[in-house]
Amino acid sequence: MTVPPGAGPDAVAPDDRLLMDTFMSQYRLPAVAAADRLGLFPALAGTPADAGQLARAHGLDHHGTSVLLEFLAAQGYLAVHGGRYHLTPSAHAFLLPGGARYWGPMLGLGWDERCAAVRHVVTTGTPAGYRGKGIWETHERSPRHGEQFARAMHAHSAAPAAVLADRLDLAGCASLLEVAGGVGTFAMALARRNPHLKATVMDLPVVEREGERLLAEAGLADRVVLRTGDMFTDPWPDAQDRVLLADVLSDWDDAHCRTLLERARTSLAAGGRLLVHQVLPDDAARLSPAVTGYSLALAVMTGGRLRTLPELTGLLTEAGFADCTATPVYGHYALVTARPA
Ligand SMILES: C[S@@+](CC[C@H](N)C(=O)[O-])C[C@H]1O[C@@H](n2cnc3c(N)ncnc32)[C@H](O)[C@@H]1O
């Protein structure tokens, strides 16, 4: 077998930003096509506006409009000056109906369900999920979808989980609860790296079969326990040294996040810490089509959102946490830690 240059055991593994970029690119055309159908380009050509002003003037949802505009700006169709969105020269040339070079009919050729889903979230502020059906309810009703999603989460979390396990110091921690942990990708990586650690993974029943298979394959079934249930209504184990929420808060609105954070606080042992691992958008990320596309994908699929560190810190403080600290970990991901105040 020929090993490609740079792929030997000592090669530094690339992070997953290229894959994130490719995956989120599925929302590029839908964002432009939905903005075109909603008349946002001529509206902004006439009156540059911020997301709130544009949403109010056109009866749109503020958050949906905001994530759409950020993604269009990261793609190069809009530019922000003084907090207002303006058309770039490309948008002026090709996205104004009536113009000689207007691309609207061409965008119409690409109109599909995903375009309609983006338009739906921008007009109503509610997620489109799977053809209008809630994502988590669909997974429970249709195990085929649920298991496919669980495998997808495992694939996308394997690398960030391994890097987090390398970087996170869990010396002195005996227990970790991973909430909405899917098949337990993070818990398994952390348990593999920390032989003294016992972990509980909570998630919906649909992940059970694949989770148990992976745990047995990893030889970790004695230290990582999968506990199925609803994280909003079923009890969480208490006296945990760490509670981990990896890519969880970004699936939910603020009210659901408050519930999860309050439950996390009461599950922690004295001296315990909350760990929140997710993409944390900063000013640079506003320029990234992968991160802004991810924000739009969350709004469309789950009704959740990516939160900046100040937004996350606000929620954590309200839920009774203090000492919120963020550390970049891998690709676009960061780890935020906090302790009960
Ligand atoms: C984006 S995935 C993240 C999975 C995992 N933490 C990771 O990063 O790979 C969100 C997870 O939340 C789970 N979930 C959604 N609603 C839930 C609920 N009410 N109770 C428990 N888990 C839930 C889903 O089944 C899914 O596994």
Residue nearest to ligand 1 atom 12, measured at CA: 180
Question: What pLDDT sits at residue 188?
Answer: 98
Which ranges of 78-198 does DSSP label H, i.e. alpha helix?
Answer: 89-94, 104-109, 113-124, 135-141, 143-167, 185-193
C-alpha–C-alpha distance, residues 181 and 330, integer Å = 18
Half-sphere exposure of 119 (CA within 13 A, CB side): 17
CA distances, 335 to each of 29, 98, 303 (Å):
31, 48, 22
Neighbour count for residue 171 (Cβ, 10 Å): 6
Where along the chain do its domains lie? Answer: 17-124, 143-282+305-340
- Helix, strand, or coil (residue 269): strand
Which one, of 214, 186, 95, 175, lies nearest residue 85 by Cα?
95
Question: What pLDDT sits at residue 286?
Answer: 81
Amino acid letter for position 278: Q
pTM here is 0.94
Can you name the CATH fold of 17-124? Arc Repressor Mutant, subunit A (1.10.10)
Pocket test for ligand 1, best of 247, 249, 278, 300 (most atoms within 8 A of CB): 247
C-alpha–C-alpha distance, residues 6 and 298, integer Å = 35
Pocket test for ligand 1, best of 23, 135, 136 (most atoms within 8 A of CB): 136
Neighbour count for residue 229 (Cβ, 10 Å): 13
| C-alpha torsion 203→207→211→212, nearest 10 | 100
Pocket test for ligand 1, best of 130, 147, 232, 251 (most atoms within 8 A of CB): 251
What is the β-pairing status of strands 321-330 and 78-81? unpaired
Q: Residue 242's beta-bridge partner residues?
A: 176, 273
On whether the CB atoms of residues 189 and 210 are closer than 8 A, the answer is: no
Could you list the pLDDT tens digit for every one of the 341 residues in the chain?
344 444 444 456 799 999 999 999 999 999 999 999 999 999 999 999 999 999 999 999 999 999 999 999 999 999 999 999 999 999 999 999 999 999 999 999 999 999 999 999 999 999 999 999 999 999 999 999 999 999 999 999 999 999 999 999 999 999 999 999 999 999 999 999 999 999 999 999 999 999 999 999 999 999 999 999 999 999 999 999 999 999 999 999 999 999 999 999 999 999 999 999 999 998 888 889 999 999 999 999 999 999 999 999 999 999 999 999 999 999 999 999 999 99
Q: What is the CATH number of domain 143-282+305-340?
A: 3.40.50.150
Cα(335) to centroid of ligand 1, in Å?
A: 18
Atom of ligand 1 nearest to the CA of 181: 6
For the Cβ of 210 lying below 6 angstroms from any atom of ligand 1, the answer is no
Which one, of 155, 334, 339, 147, lies nearest residue 241 by Cα?
339
On whether the CB atoms of residues 64 and 121 are closer than 8 A, the answer is: yes
Supply φ then ψ for residue 196, to 5 degrees.
Answer: -85, -5
If phi > 0 it is left, if psi is from -120 to 50 it is alpha, else beta; for residue 76 that is left
